[in-house]
Amino acid sequence: MAKDKKLVEAITSMDTDFAQWYTDVVKKAELIAYSSVKGCMIIKPAGYAIWENIQKELDRRFKETGVENVYMPMFIPESLLQKEKDHVEGFAPEVAWVTHGGLSELQERLCVRPTSETLFCDFYKDDIQSYRDLPKLYNQWCSVVRWEKETRPFLRSREFLWQEGHTAHATAEEAEERTVQMLNVYADFCEEVLAMPVIRGRKTEKEKFAGAEATYTIEALMHDGKALQSGTSHNFGDGFAKAFGIQYTDKNNKLQYVHQTSWGMTTRLIGAIIMVHGDDSGLVLPPRIAPVQTMVIPIQQHKEGVLEKAQEVKEGLVQAGIAAGLDDSDKSPGWKFSEQEMRGIPVRVELGPKDIEAGKCVLVRRDTREKTECAIEDVAQTVKELLETIQREMFERAKAHRDSHISDAHDYAEFKRAVENKPGFIRGMWCGDQACEDKIKEETTATSRCMPFEDQEHIADTCVCCGKPAHKLVYWGKAY
């Protein structure tokens, strides 16, 4: 049993080498496999099941706000990509180009979508005629391609899965409202389902999306103190509408340009879950996103009645609405424990002949490893409550970790010390000049993460970089 455990747990400690720990977890928890296509990953069942749960939960939340799903082509003609100047500059350098279809060369190159603003705009310009056609609240689930040079599973890959919402509105106010609304859907999802606290804010001009008037973001803090941009929502104003000629006739029979938004979340979230909650035994999944929430593991399962009882317990859990599994494989219990831990299953139920005789079983939490006993007849109710407790405490722990990794810097010396010595977010005032952002990034590798909506405190009068008067509080940090 000891030997079994060692085999499964042979992953690098996160304190020794966080990047290697991440890679080990991703592979050993069987979330992905590398493919023979450089920079593209294979998402294995354990990884894809997490994505399916993310999809299900987000899709439900989108639809509650009136969003409908559609599907756009995966190709964008080069001329279409070029219609909005900032947008093409942002994306052209990193797209994949299709030049041949079948045996012939194409008359015009097609890029594989890196994002679909241009396709939606091209569609909206015909689909929207009157104020009666507005708003359009469309979303699609698909994969996109960005020809990245360096890639890491989930965090940055040449192809990744995502959703992209694209909306069109009659007024600037409505577009702004939708931009914020979707950011809040994202933030609530992260906090309520992924147990991951986020900071909501606005990106600086330097960091905003190519072609957007404003980009809002949610920023989460990983266990190593680095930030991860976890979802963004963009207000395009009427910039794309003017570039593509998307106009509608208003109630007074006057032609008006629409106002647009887009917003996206990706498989990157799986990377976030790993790096916020994981530990040296592997993945730790919040119960609300875990494909398997509870694993029943029989002890001495060859003994009469053990497997039957374990099966009965599992079925009771399933009937109570818990995603429960039963590991009745011929592996040793120790091996099964390690696998359940590596895969991040929130609770395991241990059940052996002695337990059965005493009418009880042992519950072990994945997150704290805390063991409790419970009467077999109460197991469904107890596990149900335990899952809620785990969900809540995982969020609280992640939030405590995040909050203890925020420091304030009042001048550049303090800022640099913080970057070097205290991984995490640094709050510092900013004058609004991009030169300061550039300098900070070059000298410290920290970037401006966002100008937070909440807690816009005036912690100093001057810019943390140049010392000139400053009125904006910015969260800075090293980021994935």
Q: Where along the sequence are the contacts to a copy of itself (CB under 8 A)?
A: 33, 35-37, 40-45, 48-49, 51-52, 68-77, 80, 93-103, 110, 112, 119, 122-123, 126-127, 138, 142-143, 145, 147, 158-159, 161
Candidates 125, 139, 135, 137; CA nearest to 72 is: 139
* Distance of closest approach, residue 43 Cβ to a copy of itself, in angstroms: 4
Instruction: Indicate the residue among 99 and 253 with the shorter CB distance to a copy of itself.
Output: 99
* Distance of closest approach, residue 79 Cβ to a copy of itself, in angstroms: 9
Instruction: Indicate the residue among 10 and 103 with the shorter CB distance to a copy of itself.
Output: 103
* Distance of closest approach, residue 44 Cβ to a copy of itself, in angstroms: 6
Q: Are 248 and 134 in contact (CB under 8 A)?
A: yes
Instruction: Indicate the residue among 41 and 193 with the shorter CB distance to a copy of itself.
Output: 41
* Distance of closest approach, residue 151 Cβ to a copy of itself, in angstroms: 12
Instruction: Indicate the residue among 138 and 415 with the shorter CB distance to a copy of itself.
Output: 138
CA distance 79 to 81: 6
Instruction: Indicate the residue among 35 and 434 with the shorter CB distance to a copy of itself.
Output: 35
Write out the H or E segment, with its range, that includes residue 24: helix 18-28
Candidates 457, 453, 467; CA nearest to 233 is: 453
CA distance 75 to 371: 53
Helix axes 268-277, 379-403, angle to 10 degrees: 90
For 469, other C-beta atoms within 10 Å of its C-beta total 11
Lookup result for tokens 């910039």: 239
Instruction: Indicate the residue among 136 and 348 with the shorter CB distance to a copy of itself.
Output: 136
Candidates 423, 461, 451; CA nearest to 15 is: 423
Instruction: Indicate the residue among 97 and 370 with the shorter CB distance to a copy of itself.
Output: 97
Could you tell me whether strands 360-365 and 371-375 are parallel, antiparallel, or unpaired per DSSP bridges? antiparallel
* Distance of closest approach, residue 247 Cβ to a copy of itself, in angstroms: 18
Instruction: Indicate the residue among 100 and 442 with the shorter CB distance to a copy of itself.
Output: 100
Candidates 238, 118, 239, 264; CA nearest to 182 is: 264
Phi-psi region of 102 (alpha: psi -120 to 50; beta: other; left: phi over 0): left
CA distance 255 to 251: 10
Q: How many residues comprise the chain? A: 480
* Distance of closest approach, residue 314 Cβ to a copy of itself, in angstroms: 17
For 117, other C-beta atoms within 10 Å of its C-beta total 28
CA distance 362 to 307: 15
* Distance of closest approach, residue 427 Cβ to a copy of itself, in angstroms: 36
* Distance of closest approach, residue 38 Cβ to a copy of itself, in angstroms: 9
Question: In this structure, what DSSP letter does residue 260 have?
Answer: E
* Distance of closest approach, residue 104 Cβ to a copy of itself, in angstroms: 9
Instruction: Indicate the residue among 172 and 318 with the shorter CB distance to a copy of itself.
Output: 318
For 417, other C-beta atoms within 10 Å of its C-beta total 13
